[in-house]
Amino acid sequence: DKLLDDGEAKPFNSRGPNKCETTGVYYKSMDCYFRDLVSPHKDVEGYCRKALRMKQPGSNEGGDHSLVSCAAEPNDATISLAEYGPIYPCTALAVYRILESLHATDRRFDKTTITIINRSEVLGIPLATMLSNQGATVYSVDINSILQFLPDGKIRREPATTTVETCVRQSSAVVSGVPSTEFLVPTEWISDNTTVVNVATESNFDEETIYNVPGVTYVP
């Protein structure tokens, strides 16, 4: 087995069940070129972008898919991503499961609009991709731009006239993971019955007023 897909790496000795094969890859580099060379079969961090284009966990398409690490026996040499589904970054997957339990119908997010204020490789990008693959319209917000992830797999840049407030007010779920104590989503932007998920160390929402929104579900 090879660590990378394109032959740029030599065989890698590991401490796995078969000491001549690589059983997983853990790495800290966020370099896009290197990250996408890693085989999705061995990317235990879930950062390879090839996996994001595959079936979602729990998708109705072809059965109930779950994580490779959970679904396969330790010595199963026939593990197939097509059979079990890819591995996703754990933070993004956890938020996906929260939203799925509250908003999905038959594990789909059709006619659901969600705003994610974060576009990192760990949270924002994989979460937006998973949700849009399951039918949601997702506004992906970072400091420089707002992108819209569409259910058909397309991504488009929003015009400069589109603001974070516009996106939040249109959304039935808002996820924020901005690592700043100074960033706060104004409570008056949150619509009734919205699910609000904070993924930042310090809350991006005003916890003293957020519960004043009728029907709000706040996940701190």
Higher model confidence: residue 168 or residue 40?
A: 168
Spatial CA neighbour of 88 closest among 106, 113, 72, 70: 70
Higher model confidence: residue 154 or residue 214?
A: 214
User: Could you tell me how far CA 19 lies from the centroid of its own chain?
Assistant: 32
- The angle subtended at Cα 53 by Cα 29 and Cα 3, nearest 5°, is 40
Dihedral pair phi/psi, residue 174, rounded to 5°: -130, 125
- pLDDT score recorded for residue 42: 67
- pLDDT score recorded for residue 78: 45
Candidate ranges 60-69, 82-91, 134-143; pick with highest mean pLDDT: 134-143
Q: For residue range 145-157, what is the model confidence (pLDDT) as tens digits?
A: 999 999 988 999 9
CA distance 28 to 34: 11
Pure H helices in the chain: 32-37, 49-52, 68-71, 81-84, 90-103, 124-133, 164-170
Q: For residue range 28-77, what is the model confidence (pLDDT) as tens digits?
A: 555 666 667 776 666 666 666 665 655 454 444 433 333 333 333 344 44
pLDDT class of 88 with cuts at 50, 70, 90: confident
- pLDDT score recorded for residue 202: 93
**DSSP string covering 117-177:** E---TTTHHHHHHHHHHTT-EEEEE-SS-EEEE-TTS-EEEPPTT--HHHHHHH-SEEEE-
pLDDT class of 103 with cuts at 50, 70, 90: very high
Q: Which are the catalytic amino acids?
A: 90
Identity at 152, one-letter amino acid code? D
